[in-house]
Amino acid sequence: MKVLITGVAGFIGSHLADHYLAQGVQVAGIDNFSTGQSEFLVGANKNPGFKLFQSDLFNYTNTEKILKEFKPDAVVHLAANADVRFGLNHPRKDLEQGTICTFNILEASRQAGVKQFAYSSTGSVYGEPTVFPTPESCSFPIQTSLYAASKLAGEALIQSYAEGYGIKGYIFRFVSILGERYTHGHIFDFAKKIKANSKSIEVLGDGNQQKAYLYVGDCIRAIDHIMKTQNEKINIFNLGPDEYLTVNQSLDVICKTMNVQPTRDYTGGKRGWIGDSPFIFLDCTKLKKTGWKATRTIRESVEITLKYLLENSWLLERRS
Ligand SMILES: NC(=O)c1ccc[n+]([C@@H]2O[C@H](COP(=O)([O-])OP(=O)(O)OC[C@H]3O[C@@H](n4cnc5c(N)ncnc54)[C@H](O)[C@@H]3O)[C@@H](O)[C@H]2O)c1
């Protein structure tokens, strides 16, 4: 079995590479190191079953060459601009790093005869839904961020390729993922702010935004499990836990772990930024029916993530 992972030096991609390599799967990874960290691949690089291609998916010619050389059975496409919040600062970025790169890797996969194509989409594609928990069958009335718009366009391309060329499509709509090697999101921001000033902290919005979070190990197991057990033309799954936490509750856990009590300065409003969905809670009944189960609670995941960041402060310093 040969799997190619795009975004292999990133948070989720590096865990997925370690997971497959531990099973004896041959893994190739593509990464341009725009947000990826070479430190995350130290273990993988020691494994003879791993091959790294430092390359940008935006370059179709190189992408096609890599796919034809490695000839994977399956591709897991994780590379993207994973930062939802700053999309409006550079409106072309999500289109290029999301939609166009997804097209490039999808077409290169078709040319190389890939059988399974998996994709990291997001719960943000539901915009601001009115049904909670939100099932896969929920409609997408309005997109609220360029990030989610680009993810939804990627989903549509994969569905069309599955229909037209017979490549099996796996679309995973993740909630926010937590755990070791976490490099972006609210815990990263809060930990960084508290390290700079433990007396007061800025909280985006009113702190009452309700969010579901999933442990990275549970996310990886779900991807592997679904790709091994599901065989529809197109397989769409929400990935998340059975619970959610408010931003304030998450900050309580962070403050307790760091043993600080900063005063909280709220920027106000229900949303932290334009495109921030105030309530994300996905219905994962379909996933659970396949036998998958989360192993960590959100509170445990917040603690693990924070401890990892505090023990690896180089990451807090390196990434702005
Ligand atoms: N982390 C989350 O909470 C979360 C939630 C929902 C969806 N996702 C999606 O999961 C995927 C992985 O997220 P992550 O948290 O690991 O992000 P990440 O930023 O850690 O990883 C993305 C990786 O892709 C690489 N990359 C980006 N553009 C590239 C390009 N053009 N060519 C080659 N490599 C490129 C980066 O260098 C990085 O290593 C992303 O698609 C993200 O949108 C993540």
Residue-level pLDDT, tens digit, the chain, 320 residues: 999 999 999 999 999 999 999 999 999 999 999 999 999 999 999 999 999 999 999 999 999 999 999 999 999 999 999 988 899 999 999 999 999 999 999 999 999 999 999 999 999 999 999 999 999 999 888 999 999 999 999 999 999 999 999 999 999 999 999 999 999 999 999 999 999 999 999 999 999 999 999 999 999 999 999 999 999 999 999 999 999 999 999 999 999 999 999 999 999 999 999 999 999 999 999 999 999 999 999 999 999 999 999 999 999 998 76
Ligand 1 mean position, distance from CA 211 (Å): 20
Q: How many CB atoms lie within 10 A of CB 278?
A: 17
Separation of alpha carbons 230 and 169, rounded Å: 10
Which residue out of 177, 214, 218, 250 has the highest number of ligand 1 atoms within 8 Å of its CB and is therefore the one to mutate? Answer: 177
Ligand 1 mean position, distance from CA 8 (Å): 8
Name the CATH architecture for the domain at 179-212+242-318: Alpha-Beta Complex (3.90)
Q: Which residue's C-alpha comes closest to atom 5 of ligand 1?
A: 176
Contact 49, 4 (CB under 8 A): no
Ligand 1 mean position, distance from CA 224 (Å): 18
Atom of ligand 1 nearest to the CA of 77: 41
Ligand 1 mean position, distance from CA 10 (Å): 6
Separation of alpha carbons 129 and 151, rounded Å: 17
pLDDT value for 320: 63
Ligand 1 mean position, distance from CA 264 (Å): 30
Ligand 1 mean position, distance from CA 82 (Å): 5
pTM of the model: 0.98
Separation of alpha carbons 99 and 6, rounded Å: 14
Q: How far, CA to CA in Å, does 200 sit from each of 206, 229, 241, 261?
A: 15, 49, 31, 8
Q: What is the CB < 6 Å shell around ligand 1?
A: 7, 9-13, 30-36, 56-58, 78-80, 82, 97, 101, 120, 122, 174, 176-177, 183, 185
Which residue out of 15, 32, 172 has the highest number of ligand 1 atoms within 8 Å of its CB and is therefore the one to mutate? Answer: 32
Main-chain dihedrals φ then ψ at residue 288, nearest 5 degrees: -65, -30
Atom of ligand 1 nearest to the CA of 37: 39
Ligand 1 mean position, distance from CA 195 (Å): 26
Atom of ligand 1 nearest to the CA of 8: 39
Quick one: which of 79, 86, 117, 118 has its CA closest to 101? 79
Main-chain dihedrals φ then ψ at residue 134, nearest 5 degrees: -90, 120
Token pair belonging to 146? 């360029």
Measured CA angle at 49 (ends 43, 55), to 5 deg: 80
CB environment 120-145: b (16+ within 10 A), e (fewer): bbbbbbbbbbeeebbebebeeeebbb
Atom of ligand 1 nearest to the CA of 56: 32
Q: Which residue's C-alpha comes closest to atom 15 of ligand 1?
A: 11
pLDDT value for 84: 86
List the chain domain ranges: 2-177+214-239, 179-212+242-318
Ligand 1 mean position, distance from CA 261 (Å): 33
311: exposed, middle or buried (Cβ count in 10 Å: 0-12, 13-18, 19+): exposed
pLDDT value for 318: 86
Atom of ligand 1 nearest to the CA of 31: 34
Which residue out of 6, 31, 119 has the highest number of ligand 1 atoms within 8 Å of its CB and is therefore the one to mutate? Answer: 31
pLDDT value for 140: 85
CATH number for the region 2-177+214-239 comes to 3.40.50.720
